[in-house]
Structures are given as structure tokens and as C-alpha cells.
Amino acid sequence: MIDHAHDLACVRDATERLLTAVAALDNASLAEPSRLPGWSRGHVLAHLARNADALVNVLQGRPMYPGAEARDADIERDAPRPLDIHLADLRESGARFLAAGDAPADWTRTVELRNGVTDSASRVPFRRWVEVELHHVDLGVGYELEDLPDEFTEREIDFLAQRFSGHSGIPATRVTDGTHAWRTGRTADETEVTVSGPPAELVGWLAGRRDGATLEVRGGTLPKLPPL
């Protein structure tokens, strides 16, 4: 059962780690490329701030974004800002999200995200946790997939395995870190491919942050995953 209050606390902790890391940067480093193609570090920070507000919209029953063009335009507008403005925006938008999460609500209700995707309201705090943790890694400032909390890594592998489950373009795949195992890909009675490796490498592959070259693959080649 999803514990949204626990996940909100995890979002709070992850946000503090992010803010501490960003505070050590300077204006010039924000203009440097992030690990996301075509995005500077400023783009990543702008996205994180606007995502917090977008998830407030979701929790309060409004459209997540006015539209894809408006979302992209907001990120482009905010990316070049100086460090102090980025920090204030990250802190304030993060606080707005946590306040929305702390408000009394029916956490069993269904909410709508982007592109018609729906989910339980109770999973929205975890989705925000994903944004903060993975984009912290994307900044390329010394926080790596291996630094992610163990609980987060295990849950994100499970979340992404579910996301790709039933996808006809992915073979029936067993994913394992040697302790836990997940199924993903198309539905089949028998596993076609088994992918094994350390949790950080598995989440990197599933989340499109690493190419999976270090993973062990049995029964075929490493499945090609669609973009998130």
C-alpha cells in the first residue's frame, strides 16, 4: 500500500539535498550542459520548479500543464535565470507542493497527469520524488545513481517495470538485482530475456540514464526501451 505521507517526507529530504547541491554552483555553471541532451543545468532546474507547480495542479484537480508548448516555453523562459532566482524558485515551488500534499484529501481518488495518463493521487508524491532524484543526477554535479536511497532505487525499478509491462515491442523480460526480481515487456508464459545487474545500473537503464552495457543479459540481447 502506498504511504503518501512517507513519500512526501522523502520528497522533502530529496529537495533539501538538491538545494544544498545547487547552492554550491554559480551562474556560469548553470549555463553549462546537463546530462540531458539539449538542456543546460538551468533548464533542468527550471523544469523541476515548474513540475512542482504542475503537480500542485494535479492534486487540486486542474490540468497539469496548459499544454505542451506552454510547458516548454516556461522552461526556456526560466532556464537563463541567475542562481539566486533558481534557488528561490526551487525552494518556493517545492514548498507549495509539500503544502498541497499536506492538505486533507482523498488520496484514493484518481488524478490526471500529462497526455491523458491517470494514476492514484497517492502516487503523486512518489512521482515528485522521482523527478527530484533523477534530475539531481542529471545535473552532473557529483550526485550519481549509486547515491540514490536504496528504497527509492528499488521502487523506481518496480515503477518502470510496471510502466513497460505489456509493451508489445519489448520481449517478456525478467529484471533482477540478484535479490529482487521484476517482470516487464510483453505478456508471455515464459520469460524470453533475463537482465541482471546492480540496482543503480538497472534503474539507469530503465530510466534512460545509462545504456545498460554493464548489465548481464541471458536469452537474447538487451531490450530497447521506448523513451519515457
Per-residue buried b or exposed e for 191-202, using 16+ beta carbons within 10 Å of the residue's own CB:
bebebbbebbbb
Is residue 193 classed as helix, strand or coil in its secondary structure?
strand
pLDDT of residue 1: 78
Hey, what's the cell of 28? 556560469
pLDDT of residue 68: 87
CA 200 → CA 16, 25, 69, 156, distances in Å? 22, 25, 33, 10
Read off the pTM: 0.97
Q: Answer yes or no: is pLDDT of 16 > 90.
A: yes
Predicted confidence (pLDDT) per residue in 113-143, tens digit: 999 999 999 999 999 999 999 999 999 999 9
- Please state, in angstroms and rounded to a whole number, the distance separating the CA atoms of residues 67 and 90: 22
* Backbone dihedral region for residue 179 (phi beyond 0: left; psi -120 to 50: alpha; all else: beta): alpha
CB atoms within 10 A of CB 26: 9
pLDDT of residue 107: 98
The mean of the pLDDT values for the chain is 97
Predicted confidence (pLDDT) per residue in 207-227, tens digit: 999 999 999 999 999 999 998
Rounded to a whole number, what is the distance in angstroms from the first to the last CA of the chain?
25
pLDDT of residue 228: 87
Q: For the chain, what percent of residues have pLDDT higher than 90?
A: 97
Is residue 33 classed as helix, strand or coil in its secondary structure?
strand
